Structure 1
Amino acid sequence: MNAIRSSIQLKILLLLLGLALPPLIIVGWLGLSSLNIARETAVVEGTNGLRQQATANLRQRAADKAQLYDTALMSVQQQVETVAGYALDRYNMPVTVFSSDRVWVAPRPTDDLLRQYANQAAYVRQMIPILREMVAKNPLVNIGYIALEEGGILAFDNEAVIDQLLTLEAFDPRVRPWYLKARDAGATVWTEPYVDANTGLLATTCASPLYDRQGRFIGVVAFDLLLKTIQQDLLTVDVGSSGYALLINTNGDVIVRPDMQADVRWDQPYRTENLLDSTNADLRAVAEMMVGRQSGVQLIQEQDQASYVAFAPITTAGWSVALIVPANEIDAPALATGQRLSESQSRLWNQLVAVLLMIIVTISMLGLLLSLSFTNRISVLREGVQAVAGGDLSQRLPAAGSDEIGQLVDAFNRMTDTLQSKIAELEENARQLATLNAVSNELKGILSWPVLLETIPKAVCERFGFDRAVLYLVDGDVLRAVSASFGPGNESQAQQFLAVANTKPLRLDGSSVEADVVRSRKAIIIDNPWNNPRVDKTKQAASASRSYVQAPIFGRNDAVIGIISADYKLSQRPVQARDAAQLLTFASMVGLTIENVQLYNDLEQQVAQRTEELRAALERAQLADRRKSDFLASISHELRTPLNAIIGFSTVLLDDTDQPLTPTQREDVQSINRNGRFLLHLINELLDLARIEAGHLNLEISTVDLQQVAGEVCDTVQTLLRNRPVILRNALPATLPMVAADSDRLRQILFNLLSNAIKFTERGTITVSAQLYDEVNGDGKIERYVAVSVSDTGIGIPLERQQDIFGEFVQIHGRRSRLGGTGLGLAITRKLVLAQGGRIWVDSTPGIGSTFTFTLPVAQSALLAAPVGANVVMP
Structure 2
Amino acid sequence: MMNAIRSSIQLKILLLLLGLALPPLIIVGWLGLSSLNIARETAVVEGTNALRQQATASLRQRAADKAQFYDASLIGVQQQVETVAGYALQRYNAPVVEFSNERVWIAPRPSEDLLRTYAAEIGYVRRVIPLLREIVASNPLVNIGYIALETGGIIAFDNEAVIDQLLTLESFDPRVRPWYVKARDAGTTVWTEPYVDANTGLLATTCASPLYDQQGQFIGVVAFDLLLETIQQDLLTVDVGSSGYALLINANGDVVVRPNMQANGRWDQPYQTENLLNSTNTDLRAVAEQMVARQSGVQLIQEDGQASYVAYAPITTAGWSVALVIPANEIDAPAIATGQRLSESQSRLWNQLVVVLLMIIISIGFLGLLLSFSFTSRISVLREGVQAVAGGDLSRRLPVAGIDEIGQLVDAFNRMTDTLQSKIVELEENARQLATLNAVSNELKSILSWPVLLETIPKVVCERFGFDRAVLYLVDGDVLRAVSASFGPGNEDQAQQFLAVANAHPLRVDGGSVEADVVRSRKAIIVDNPWEHPRVDKIKQAASASRSYVQAPIFGRNDVVIGIISADYKLSQRPVQARDAAQLLTFASMVGLTIENVQLYNDLEQQVARRTEELRVALERAQLADRRKSDFLASISHELRTPLNAIIGFSTVLLDDTDQPLTPTQREDIQSINRNGRFLLHLINELLDLARIEAGHLNLEISNVNLYNITSEVCDTVQTLLRNRPVTLRNAVPVTLPDIAADGDRLRQILFNLLSNAIKFTERGTITVSARVHDEVNEDGKVGRYVAVSVSDTGIGIPLERQHEIFNEFVQIHGRRSRLSGTGLGLAITRKLVLAQGGRIWVDSTPGIGSTFTFTIPVAQPALLAAPVNIDTTTP
Tell me the TM-score normalized by structure 2: 0.48
Q: Which has the larger radius of gyration?
A: 1
Tell me the TM-score normalized by structure 1: 0.48
